[in-house]
Amino acid sequence: MTLPHLRGFRLLSFILISCLLFTACGDPNALNHRRSQFLMGTLVKIFVIEKDEKLAITAIQEAFREIRRLEKLMSILIPDSEISKINQAAGKNRVPLSKVLLTVLQRSLFWS
């Protein structure tokens, strides 16, 4: 079953899996491309092995873009994130949730 509101997660997964699969080809001309950013309260490092520098940088940028999107929804460090709004309203009033966050919370309850 696929959930249309998880499109961003699927895109990030596709990008990362594609990068892993392409590195398995063992191209001796491939180069290491590395970028890091401080996101979600930690240092996120992304490594891509690809001979086409433009393709590697695009994949890295897309991965960081998706991580930033998720951070805006779920970070307790960002005062206007959905999670922060839930915490601020705890015991006081209801907070509308996006389908993405609702799905994440439901899955976390399922697995906890």
Which pTM value belongs to this model? 0.65
- pLDDT for the residue numbered 109: 92
Give whole-number Cα distances, 91 to 24, 35, 87, 88, in Å: 51, 41, 9, 9
Give the percent of the chain with pLDDT over 70: 74
Predicted confidence band of residue 1 (pLDDT cuts 50, 70, 90): very low
Predicted confidence band of residue 19 (pLDDT cuts 50, 70, 90): low
Is the distance from CB of 107 to CB of 9 less than 8 angstroms?
Answer: no
The stretch 25-54 carries a mean pLDDT of: 86
Question: What value does the mean pLDDT of the chain take?
Answer: 83
Q: Which residues contact 101 (CB under 8 A, 6 or more apart)?
A: 73, 74, 82, 83
Is the distance from CB of 20 to CB of 47 less than 8 angstroms?
Answer: no
Question: Beta partners for 75?
Answer: none
